Amino acid sequence: MKQLLILSGKGGTGKTTVASAFIKLSNAKAFADCDVDAPNLHLITSLASEPRKKKFYGLNKAKIDASRCVGCDACRSHCRFNAISVQQHYVVDEYACEGCGVCEFVCPQKAISMIEMVDGELMLYHDEEKVFSTAQLAMGSGTSGMLVTEVKKQLKEVDVDGELTIIDGSPGIGCPVIASLSGVDMVLIVAEPSISGISDMERIIKTAEKFSIKIAICINKYDTNNDNTEKIDVMCKEKQWPIVGKIPFDPQAVSAINQGKTIVDVECPAKEALIDVYNKTLTMLYGKQMEEIKK
């Protein structure tokens, strides 16, 4: 089974819109939402069954027992994350604490212990033939990369018979993105024709290239700024980044999403363009095997 990850660098370019359309077009048996910070894929692709819910424990957090603390300041002065402050007692800011355990180690009074913390929730939907893995990170948590890894691990718990796994990624280039990149066969980057979008696209491509993963680019809402679309065209040609298609801005796409539908559920110009992007992406992903799959 091949894994296709959808990323963008910049937020709001249309990752989830493209991912949901691909899931529908390919009738994907396995899919996941790795944007654990702001998951949305479940709003349009969730399966009818109730999900299995599981608490996600990230790293433990330090807790200071005030009755044992003598105020020596060793914990505060050793903490690299400024997570310990003195109020009436020494207290740990659980959002700043990264769970390294240094304070527990340096405390001469053994007043500090590391406590398990719920850092989010994992959801796994599955029916007879499909599996969908998603999660929601807890507010302010610093363990998004770990949770992304759990989302992908969870996907493998259910055996499904399919050729393609589609993964919706998160914006940015940091830990959740890096965690989502591991083990995928190809990344489809959804770009948009704005100066910001172009800068962000370059940064996500550089990130993907560091992990030697095959990439392709589609330009969404390409007709909202034709000059910038041309800039992307020129840049991609120069750097030999393959463009697999361009999707027009389509007001019907917004109303489809707001009704909980994918773009390919409604007849509109964006649908036609997306089908083309889909076919080209799969050809790249499978190479020669494509013909065999079609048979």
Partner 1 sequence: MKIGVLSGKGGTGKTLVSVNLAAASKRARYIDCDVEEPNGHLFFKPSNVVEEKVTLKIPVVDHTLCDGCRQCVSFCKFNALAYIKNNVIVFDDVCHSCGGCTLVCPRKAISEKDKTIGTIQKGISKEVDVWTGILNTGEASGTAIIHQLLEDVPSDELTIIDCPPGSACVVMESIKDVDYCILVAEPTIFGVSNLAMVHELVTLFNKPFGVVLNKCVDGETVAEDYCLKHNIRVLCRIPFEKKLGTINSNADIAAYHQEYNDLFTTLLDTVIKEVHHETTINS
SS3 57: strand
Asked if 200 touches partner 1 (CB under 8 A), the answer is yes
**DSSP β-bridge partners for residue 210:** none
For the chain, the first-to-last Cα distance in angstroms comes to: 17
Give the one residue of 111, 135, 137, 216 binding partner 1; rule: CB under 8 A: 137
Give the one residue of 54, 203, 214, 280 binding partner 1; rule: CB under 8 A: 203
Asked if 102 touches partner 1 (CB under 8 A), the answer is yes
Asked if 212 touches partner 1 (CB under 8 A), the answer is no
Which residue number, 171 or 285, has a Cβ lying nearer to partner 1?
171
- The residue to which tokens 């759990």 are assigned: 150
Residue 98 neighbours by CB distance under 10 Å = 16
For residue 107, report the phi and psi dihedrals to the nearest 5 degrees: -70, 120
Asked if 11 touches partner 1 (CB under 8 A), the answer is yes
Which residue number, 80 or 295, has a Cβ lying nearer to partner 1?
80
Give the one residue of 1, 38, 115, 293 binding partner 1; rule: CB under 8 A: 38
Asked if 91 touches partner 1 (CB under 8 A), the answer is no
Asked if 142 touches partner 1 (CB under 8 A), the answer is yes
* Minimum CB distance to partner 1, residue 211 (Å): 8
Residue 130: closest CA among 43, 26, 27? 27
Which amino acid is residue 256, in one-letter code?
Answer: A
> Residue 266 region, left (φ>0) first, then alpha (ψ -120 to 50), else beta?
beta
Which residue number, 74 or 264, has a Cβ lying nearer to partner 1?
74
Contacts of 10 (CB under 8 A, 6+ apart): 171, 192, 196, 197, 200, 201
Asked if 72 touches partner 1 (CB under 8 A), the answer is no
Distance CA 114, CA 148 (A): 23
Asked if 107 touches partner 1 (CB under 8 A), the answer is no
Give the one residue of 87, 140, 238, 292 binding partner 1; rule: CB under 8 A: 140
As given in the structure block, the two tokens for residue 137 are 């990170």
* Minimum CB distance to partner 1, residue 150 (Å): 15
* Minimum CB distance to partner 1, residue 197 (Å): 8
Contacts of 166 (CB under 8 A, 6+ apart): 4, 6, 19, 22, 23, 26, 28, 30, 31, 32
Binding footprint of partner 1 on the chain (CB under 8 A): 9-13, 16, 37-38, 40, 43, 59-60, 78, 80-82, 95, 98-102, 105-106, 137, 139-142, 144-145, 170-175, 177-178, 192-197, 199-200, 203, 206-207, 210, 224-225, 227-228, 251, 254-255, 257-258, 260
